[in-house]
Amino acid sequence: MRISARASGGQKYSLTSDEDDGDFWGFVHEAEGLFTPLPESEGARRVHLAGCLPQGHLLNCVDHVGSPRAVAGNAWFEFLDSDGVTMGSYFVNEVTVMDVKSSDSGAGLVDLMATLGCEDALPGAGRAWDLVRTDHLNRTGMWHELTPADRRAWLSVALWSREYQRRGKPDAPAGQVFTLDGRHIVDRDTFWQSVASAFPQGRQSEVPVGVGRRLRVMSMWDALPDSARQR
């Protein structure tokens, strides 16, 4: 987990080159469209990056909108909490600056329109990231009333943010028994959600937490009746 000393408050995201960890592309206040796939491809996104201060290679691309040099390349799109700590990140490819204009977010900031590819940013995951950021993803069973698609997005955020959520918390002692509430298990995603919910607060994201436990959990899944496993 990384804490950025460059954050000055209000930034929810940052971008860093995938090819060079030292090539920091800047902070972003808001990002709209990351969780909305474009019709032409499941992973294609058109993202409005509001309140951005471009740096590094991204800054060079801003000066060449409309030309091949506007393609910044691949990067890590990081989600930040209010203290600038990285909660999790997505790999994004072929980041291309399509448009740039002055931003209302602050002096010297710009709003960028960029296209990129990111199959991991599932529709509906934005709400779960906001809950992690505000420390409100802290009660078991919050996913019970979600649609199947939203449950999968919720689960993906729990996995992508697992290191952040378990920061400062010790592993459970060997031999500790956890109770699995299977009343809401209807498919593979709800199975993993139920397993995650069985851990004490702060440990929900530790699934899987090791080879032995992973194998044991998988054997539990295999033991479920076909009516539950094949949905």
Q: Report the pLDDT value the prediction gives residue 204, as an integer from 0 to 100.
A: 38
Give the Å distances, CA to CA, from 187 to 124, 150, 179.
19, 13, 19
Q: Report the pLDDT value the prediction gives residue 198, as an integer from 0 to 100.
A: 64
Q: What is the pTM of this model?
A: 0.76
First-residue to last-residue Cα distance in the chain: 36
The answer for residues whose C-beta is within 8 angstroms of residue 29's C-beta and 6 or more apart is 10, 11, 12, 13, 50, 51, 52, 105, 109
Task: Give the residue ranges of the chain where pLDDT is below 50.
Answer: 1-7, 201-225, 227-231
Rounded-to-integer distance, Cα 45 and Cα 206, Å: 30
Q: Report the pLDDT value the prediction gives residue 208, as an integer from 0 to 100.
A: 41
Rounded-to-integer distance, Cα 206 and Cα 163, Å: 8
Q: Report the pLDDT value the prediction gives residue 133, as an integer from 0 to 100.
A: 92
Rounded-to-integer distance, Cα 109 and Cα 53, Å: 5
